[in-house]
Structure 1
Amino acid sequence: MSRQRNNKSDKKASKKVRNLIFSIFLLVVSVGVSYIYFTEQKFNNVIYPQVKIEGMDFSGKTKEEAIKILRDNFGDAILQKKVNIKALDRNYSISFSELNAKFSIIETVDEALAYGKTSNIISKFKLIKSPNPKEFNLKFTYNQKPLENLVKSIEKDINKKPQDATISFTGEKFQVSEDVEGSELDSDKLKKEILSSINGKISSDINIQAPIKTLKPKVTAASLKQVNTRIASYSTDFSSSSEARSTNIRVATASINGKVLMPGESFSFNEVVGERTKERGYKEAGVIINQQLDSGLGGGICQVSSTLYNALLSGNIKTTERIHHTFPSSYVGMGLDATVDWGNIDLKFKNTFDYPIYLEGYTKNKVVYFNIYSNSELAKRTYTISTEVYDKIEPTIKYIDDPTMPEGKTEVVKKPSTGYRVKVYRNIFENGRFISKELISNDYYVPINGITKRGTKKSS
């Protein structure tokens, strides 16, 4: 009986112990959960431990606190920074505030504040008690447009075309103006250098030397000063010309006067003289059209091209394009003429010398003159031109009977012209001594057959 009572008593005691242990367990768990919960809640509106932004620890900082710290250290400081550019003797600068430069402070703080907040409570607790270092970096942005405008402004100030030296002749001596070097900003290179230098580092200003090219003039004063001697000249008379033809000769000659050819450069009569129009001062005068003398704008300028051509021959200047007339001209010998026609026939030559060539052209007392000047070294050689007419072709005359004209009366419809074959030579002398003779051209003037009407009408 007593044994049964003891067993019941033991069971009751054991149950009490278990209940006590369970209660203690529940209390411990409750305390632990509460601790975890309240610990996590403490960081609900602040940044977790060991979370850094740009190397600065923001553990436990609120959003407002973090934003203020970052603005103090980055936001305001970056606006004081400048980009300084030196271009030749000028200085240019632009501040980061003008570029609307800024850091993603608010966005980055939001990221740091949200870090770990979407995890479960245990994960959050672990991040608080055993944190893994986490770092965020600010994003830096700016507006490129003000920089592009600055580069354009620098370009406008710096870009200068080089100025060629010029030469003029007063009739007694040459006057040479100085050449001036130009400059050109390498805009693309400058832009790349600026953009590669701009960053979010809070440091000293950015200093850049603008890349600038020096532009050399095509014609220098030193080269033009080599022109000191007349090497050739030629003139032809146009005293029998009409006023219109004389005007055309004067206008064309004036457009050539003062032309300079540097070594290697070529000359085109048509390009230099230009189209023969009324607006440019040309008048109607006699020209050769379809083997006949007719009237047209610019009539007479073939005398200008022929006069210039003979000066070229006397100066040993290389002619690259030249065509003679249909029949011989009255103002120069056979084989010595050079016809021109806008858009069709040209007179061209090239400066093959090591020195510049200066062309002087003018008219006086109805004579057209061309003088060619260059360096005195070229004057050591002189040249004379000779011609050889080695064939003469007589034209035929075709007669057409005209019953409307009185018998014995004639009328020339087409004037005949004798044909010739002629060779032109250049005789070369050095210091007055004959050296050699060279063939320049072999021209053929085609004979022009004539046509004459004769009357056959009998008198009543």
Structure 2
Amino acid sequence: MTRKQARMRRRRIRIAGFCLAGCILILGIVCGAFHHYVSQFPEDKIAENIYVGTVDLSGLSKKEALEKLAGQKKADQKQTVSLTVEDQKAEATLEECGFDYADVKANVKAAMDYGKSGGLFGRYKSLRKLSKEKVVLSPEYTLDQKATENILEERAVPFAKHAQNATITKSGSGLQINKEEIGETVDKSGTIKAIKKHLNDSWDHGSFAMEAKVKEEQPSVTEADLSTIQDELGSFSTDAGGGERWKNLKNGVEKLNGTVVMPGEQISVHDVTAPYDEEHGYVQAGSYENGQVVDTYGGGICQVSTTLYNAVLFSELKVVKRYPHSMLVSYVPPSRDAAIAGDTKDFVFENNYDTPIYIFGEIDDDNQLCFAIYGKETRDKTRKIEFESEEVSTEEPGVKYKADAELALGEMEVTGSAHTGKEVKLWKIVYENGKQVSKDVINESTYSKADKTISVGIKTKNSSAAAVVKEAVSTQDKAKIQAAISEASSMESSSEQ
């Protein structure tokens, strides 16, 4: 290397050093400026111009941001969604549908962390961007699947043009089948997905309307299913009587008449005939309650279930639930009754045949409450069934006296009828070709006794006379009560003189 070349090299090194020093100086100045800009944004506050959805979280702490979003959620929950089904409107608030912000804590964290992580230049660039445009973090809006399904089932599904099952009716000319029709129902899952999509894609946080999603609905009972119903499997009838009770019998029978029960399906008489109130066609009539006959809406419905129970027995359908009355009834032998009592007693049976059955019920021209069950007969033609009630034990009723302050002193009035208590077994006896092939106990029933109740009057202005009779009534001794009445009458007469 020549001297000249060496000098040139040393010169280039000096220039490079100056340039590097300059660059370092400039970089230091720039970094200082970046750091100064970034340091203006507090670590515990969200930067300006950051939104979650439509909610501005600028300058808020984490707690303040969560509170503000909670307030927005409350406002959102008050909005309604209106669904159209067959030109009908079904409405619900978003709150009823379980509307919520799925990731609100994550959104607030992302808002709080914006521009506060990564390299200095990246943070500066992100924060600088906020001065020109807002950053919007998108929340995920959700619905409670079960709550929304329940709303749709209750308010939207009834408006759909549902499939019509094939039906069967009995008339003088026999059994006629009416063909089924394909229909539509609300697609609950599809509708919920559509609502969620609207909420998360284009919702303006106001109430909104949309078409409910529908899908084809096939009938569950077809003409082909019912074509096997040709034979009477069993029937039974009881006298329908009269008065207000008769109206309840007719109403209950009409609710059960025409019922088709598919193979393996169970029927609850309570569920088909209830609720027992005026709105659903029932009147007040006598029924058992706490060992006495009292008037209640639907009084007499137990005779409907009892008559059907006997038709079920002769049809040899499977009895799932059956309860006796608290006391004996007069219209069937003991242990052949089936009581209905609110949620505690029900008659439930199952179609254990391989083909559908049809329940026909009526009160005929002879005032007989009748049930007949039709299906496809598969039993031996020589098979005959009998039912026999066996009394295991009997408890005779007594007499119970009760003081009555509304009845004149000394008057006696029967206010509760007597009923014999019994324990009974019901035997099912089967014959084939004229010979007995089986005899089995199919139920056991206990009926409580009810004492004859006699009210004894203690109504008088003479409190001492009333006390004498009341004391005698507490002994439940007829002779003492009669003696006390005589004594009290004398006391009352003396006080009047």
Q: TM-score, normalised by structure 2?
A: 0.50
Contact 2:240 2:363 in 1 (8 A): no
1:421 pairs with one of 423, 426, 434 = 423
1:223 pairs with one of 210, 220, 225 = 225
Question: Secondary structure of 1:377's partner?
Answer: coil
Contact 1:258 1:359 in 2 (8 A): yes
* Alpha-carbon distance in structure 2 between the residues aligned to 1:401 and 1:269: 40
Partner residue of 2:169? Answer: 168
Contact 1:267 1:350 in 2 (8 A): yes
* Alpha-carbon distance in structure 2 between the residues aligned to 1:180 and 1:299: 38
- Residue 402 of structure 1 deviates from its aligned partner by 8.8
Are residues 274 and 266 of structure 1, via their aligned partners in 2, closer, same or farther at CA, if it must alter by over 3 Å? same
Partner residue of 1:273? Answer: 273
Residue ranges of structure 1 left out of the alignment (5+ in a row): 1-158, 189-212
* Alpha-carbon distance in structure 2 between the residues aligned to 1:307 and 1:260: 18
Are residues 391 and 376 of structure 1, via their aligned partners in 2, closer, same or farther at CA, if it must alter by over 3 Å? same
2:387 pairs with 1:369: no
CA deviation profile, 1:52-72 (whole Å, cap 9, x unmatched): xxxxxxxxxxxxxxxxxxxxx
Partner residue of 2:92? Answer: none
- Residue 350 of structure 1 deviates from its aligned partner by 0.6
- Residue 332 of structure 1 deviates from its aligned partner by 1.1
Partner residue of 2:327? Answer: 327
2:239 pairs with one of 237, 240, 248 = 237
2:281 pairs with 1:253: no
Contact 1:238 1:367 in 2 (8 A): yes
**Mean Cα deviation higher: 353-362 or 415-424:** 415-424
CA deviation profile, 1:181-236 (whole Å, cap 9, x unmatched): 67999999xxxxxxxxxxxxxxxxxxxxxxxx986542222221111011111000
Question: Secondary structure of 1:345's partner?
Answer: coil
* Alpha-carbon distance in structure 2 between the residues aligned to 1:265 and 1:289: 32
* Alpha-carbon distance in structure 1 between the residues aligned to 2:179 and 2:388: 41
- Residue 431 of structure 1 deviates from its aligned partner by 5.1
- Residue 290 of structure 1 deviates from its aligned partner by 1.2
Residue ranges of structure 2 left out of the alignment (5+ in a row): 1-159, 191-214, 457-480, 491-497
Partner residue of 2:438? Answer: 436
Partner residue of 1:313? Answer: 313
Name the aligned partner's letter for residue 269 of structure 1: V
CA deviation profile, 1:63-113 (whole Å, cap 9, x unmatched): xxxxxxxxxxxxxxxxxxxxxxxxxxxxxxxxxxxxxxxxxxxxxxxxxxx
Contact 1:425 1:439 in 2 (8 A): yes
Partner residue of 2:5? Answer: none
- Residue 165 of structure 1 deviates from its aligned partner by 2.2
Contact 1:335 1:424 in 2 (8 A): yes
Are residues 234 and 415 of structure 1, via their aligned partners in 2, closer, same or farther at CA, if it must alter by over 3 Å? same
Q: TM-score, normalised by structure 1?
A: 0.54
Percentage of identical aligned residues: 34
Paired residue total: 276
CA deviation profile, 1:144-175 (whole Å, cap 9, x unmatched): xxxxxxxxxxxxxxx99654322222233221
Contact 1:261 1:357 in 2 (8 A): yes
Question: Secondary structure of 1:390's partner?
Answer: strand
Are residues 245 and 163 of structure 1, via their aligned partners in 2, closer, same or farther at CA, if it must alter by over 3 Å? closer
* Alpha-carbon distance in structure 1 between the residues aligned to 2:371 and 2:172: 13
Contact 1:231 1:374 in 2 (8 A): yes
* Alpha-carbon distance in structure 1 between the residues aligned to 2:402 and 2:298: 34
1:29-108 residue pairs with structure 2 within 5 A? none
- Residue 374 of structure 1 deviates from its aligned partner by 0.8
- Residue 410 of structure 1 deviates from its aligned partner by 4.0
Partner residue of 1:17? Answer: none
Are residues 429 and 221 of structure 1, via their aligned partners in 2, closer, same or farther at CA, if it must alter by over 3 Å? farther
* Alpha-carbon distance in structure 2 between the residues aligned to 1:444 and 1:413: 24
Which of the two has higher C-alpha Rg?
1
* Alpha-carbon distance in structure 1 between the residues aligned to 2:173 and 2:434: 26
* Alpha-carbon distance in structure 2 between the residues aligned to 1:215 and 1:252: 30
Name the aligned partner's letter for residue 327 of structure 1: M
1:276-425 residue pairs with structure 2 within 5 A? 276-364=276-364, 365-378=366-379, 380=381, 381-399=383-401, 405-406=409-410, 410-425=412-427
Are residues 392 and 160 of structure 1, via their aligned partners in 2, closer, same or farther at CA, if it must alter by over 3 Å? closer
- Residue 398 of structure 1 deviates from its aligned partner by 3.8
Contact 2:263 2:355 in 1 (8 A): yes
**Mean Cα deviation higher: 326-335 or 377-386:** 377-386
Contact 1:421 1:443 in 2 (8 A): yes
- Residue 405 of structure 1 deviates from its aligned partner by 4.1
Contact 2:311 2:372 in 1 (8 A): yes
* Alpha-carbon distance in structure 1 between the residues aligned to 2:314 and 2:221: 26
Partner residue of 1:107? Answer: none
Question: Secondary structure of 2:427's partner?
Answer: strand
* Alpha-carbon distance in structure 2 between the residues aligned to 1:426 and 1:218: 34
* Alpha-carbon distance in structure 2 between the residues aligned to 1:457 and 1:214: 79
Contact 2:165 2:181 in 1 (8 A): yes
* Alpha-carbon distance in structure 2 between the residues aligned to 1:184 and 1:414: 54
1:449 pairs with one of 426, 448, 451 = 451
Question: Secondary structure of 2:328's partner?
Answer: coil
Are residues 171 and 372 of structure 1, via their aligned partners in 2, closer, same or farther at CA, if it must alter by over 3 Å? farther
Contact 1:276 1:342 in 2 (8 A): no
Contact 2:168 2:178 in 1 (8 A): yes
